[in-house]
Amino acid sequence: MKLASLLVASAASMLAVPAMAQDGRDTSQDFDGPYISIGGGGTLQGNDRGETVVFDTNRDGTYGDQVTTVGGANAFSTGFCNGAATSSANRDCRNDKDGPEYFARLGFDKRMGNFVLGAVVEGGRSVARDSVSAFSTTPASYTFSREADYQASARLRAGYTPGGGALFYVTGGGAYARLDNRFSTSNGANSFADNGKTNGWGYTAGGGAEVMVTNNIAVGLEYLYTDIKDDDFVVNVGPGTAPPTNPFLLNGGGTDMKRSSDNFRTHSVRGTLSFRF
């Protein structure tokens, strides 16, 4: 709701600008040709309801096994939370982290009357972080976190300009992220190894508005939804100093664990500053 209100308010304020931007200026060539942009804003990372941690106790590549104690009980009956654990005993977690983002882009538009078609290549970074935690009956906590070291996308966009001066558009295309995966635990008995940073692929879509303030300079407001799929990060649990009766070791000497959701989803609200050639 807050995001929608921000977009409506910002778009309303921009609607008043085109008339001023057009005073004494030829708008017939607006939004036609190449441009470069820089920008920044905020990335919102919503808590993913229902996400858990899943296990492969015999390391056959199939996840969904139950980690059981010597007595046959579920070692993770304590449950999970959508966030980073702050307490092993009480299932306390802090929410996923929102954060700033910044980017640069290259684009090209082709104007056909009042309609505009274009393409954009963009790269940048956001510090939003997505976490999930599991809690064992030991008690102990196990937290998976990920954020993007950098992101890139290649998108098409289509828009309408009411005679120049302002452009209203939708955009969408493919997205890539180099993901910084992290794992932490309060379990000091077992050993834990992971495969570190991974490559994620997905898509991004949204829309925005852009206003020409001079013959070459434009300012804009944009919203993007991005969904990156990351299914490569795995944590391998080994013996460490734990006895053979340790729940992770009962079914063949070790267990693999990963997040139940492969999707890293974010919402972005950003401002843009463009120079058109």
What the block records as the tokens of 133 is 């935690």
The pLDDT assigned to 12 comes to: 47
213 neighbors 17 (Cβ within 8 angstroms): yes
Residue 195: strand, helix, or coil:
coil
What the block records as the tokens of 105 is 């882009």
Distances (CA, A) of 167 to 3, 129, 160, 206, 251: 21, 32, 6, 14, 61
Nearest residue to 130 via CA among 175, 82, 91: 82
227 neighbors 153 (Cβ within 8 angstroms): no
Peptide bond into 18 cis (omega under 30): no
- 275 - beta bridge partners? 36, 217
Query: In whole angstroms, what is the distance from residue 193 CA to residue 241 CA?
Result: 14
What are the residue ranges spanned by the domains of the chain? 2-276
What the block records as the tokens of 270 is 């950003």
What the block records as the tokens of 180 is 């910084």
The pLDDT assigned to 208 comes to: 98
The H or E element spanning position 15 is helix 2-15
Q: CA dihedral defined by 103, 194, 143, 192, rounded to 10 degrees? A: -160
The pLDDT assigned to 163 comes to: 87
What the block records as the tokens of 98 is 């929102």
What the block records as the tokens of 81 is 């939370």
The pLDDT assigned to 172 comes to: 98
- 38 - beta bridge partners? 104, 273
Answer yes or no: CATH 2.40.160.20 is held by domain 2-276: yes
Query: In whole angstroms, what is the distance from residue 156 CA to residue 193 CA?
Result: 40
Per-position pLDDT tens, the chain of length 277: 444 444 444 444 444 444 444 456 789 889 999 999 999 999 998 766 789 999 999 999 999 999 999 999 999 999 999 899 998 877 888 888 899 999 999 999 999 999 999 999 999 999 999 999 999 999 999 999 999 999 999 999 999 999 899 999 999 999 999 999 999 999 999 999 999 999 999 999 999 999 999 999 999 999 999 999 988 999 999 999 999 999 999 987 899 999 999 999 999 999 999 999 9
The pLDDT assigned to 1 comes to: 41
The single-letter code of the amino acid at 140 is A
Query: In whole angstroms, what is the distance from residue 41 CA to residue 72 CA?
Result: 50
The pLDDT assigned to 23 comes to: 56
Q: How does DSSP classify residue 24? A: T
